[in-house]
Amino acid sequence: MNIHFLTLFPEMYTGVLGSSILARAKEKEIVDYNLINFRDYSGNKHNKVDDYPYGGGAGMVLKPEPIFNAMDALELSDDARVILLCPQGAPFNQKKAEELSKEQEIVFICGHYEGYDERIRTLVTDEISIGDYVLTGGEVASMAMTDAIVRLIPGVLSREESHIEDSFSTGMLEHPHYTRPREFRGMKVPEVLLNGNHKDIDAWRLEESLKRTKERRPDLLE
């Protein structure tokens, strides 16, 4: 999978794409990350990428030229997914992550302004928000999405890191986990997990999963 990030702050990505599972996915050549500073494509000698809104009002608007020029230079395949990050987009969730993990090419357009010139939207296949709050820009949102997407690509996670039983993949929140020691500061591991009866263990986990989902996220059960 090729993932392109159109951003004014490519340095923000260094730690996230260069660490842990996202870095390993690149080393394994399962994904490649391409950071593009769209200021380089402004098309004007002052490298200006924003301007005042027609009609007046507060805030600046991202100009169309830098984004159109950067996109032209990318020479994307016809079926590339082009994602505009904004609070007005469709909510991102595990189902969307699963869908996007099957793509060959994804572009994230990360703005840092009051808004995008509306013509930029003609380049886009999806508008996505990562939650009902306003970030200073799309970068953190694109990194959160990349993390959720890349770990789902076959070959990225090892068997021990498997995502099959993740919260949300099952439609519910995950059950509680325990590891050694058996007793810690007076807190004991539930007996059922110690007796090796896998039918009982599965039943307990399902019940705990349901209980947790009912308490914390009843909306998931509707």
Q: By CB under 6 A, which span of 15-23, 39-47, 101-109, 124-132 interacts with ligand ADE?
A: 124-132
Does residue 180 have an active-site annotation? no
Q: From the candidates 87, 103, 127, 212, give the one annotated as an active-site residue.
A: 87
Applying CB under 6 A, among 45, 122, 133, 185 the residue interacting with ligand ADE is 133
Binding of ligand ADE at residue 22 (CB under 6 A)?
A: no
Residue 171 marked in a binding site: no
Q: From the candidates 11, 51, 72, 114, give the one annotated as an active-site residue.
A: 114
Applying CB under 6 A, among 12, 82, 106, 130 the residue interacting with ligand ADE is 130
Residue 111 marked in a binding site: yes
The dihedral sign for the CA sequence 66, 68, 73, 74:
positive
Long-range contacts of 157-164 (CB under 8 A, 24+ apart): 157/21, 161/21
What is the total count of residues that contact ligand ADE (CB under 6 A)? 11
Rounded distance, CA 168 to CA 150, Å? 16
For ligand ADE, the binding residues in 58-97 under the rule CB under 6 A are 85-87
Shortest spacing between CB 149 and ligand ADE, in angstroms: 14
Rounded distance, CA 113 to CA 96, Å? 25
Q: By CB under 6 A, which span of 3-11, 48-56, 134-142, 171-179 interacts with ligand ADE?
A: 134-142
Does residue 50 have an active-site annotation? no
Applying CB under 6 A, among 29, 58, 78, 134 the residue interacting with ligand ADE is 134
Cβ proximity to ligand ADE, 63 vs 175, nearer residue: 63
Query: Cα 5 vs. chain centroid, distance in angstroms?
Result: 12
Shortest spacing between CB 42 and ligand ADE, in angstroms: 21
Rg of the chain on CA atoms, in Å: 22
Long-range contacts of 63-68 (CB under 8 A, 24+ apart): 63/117, 64/117, 64/119, 64/120, 65/41, 66/38, 66/39, 66/41, 66/42, 67/6, 67/38, 67/41, 67/109, 67/116, 67/120, 67/123, 68/120, 68/123
Does residue 166 have an active-site annotation? yes
Rounded distance, CA 94 to CA 194, Å? 32
Does residue 40 have an active-site annotation? no
Rounded distance, CA 46 to CA 67, Å? 16
Q: Which residues are annotated as a binding site for S-adenosyl-L-methionine?
A: 111, 130-135
Q: Which positions lie near ligand ADE, rule CB under 6 A?
A: 85-87, 129-131, 133-135, 138, 141
Catalytic residue annotation: 87, 114, 151, 166
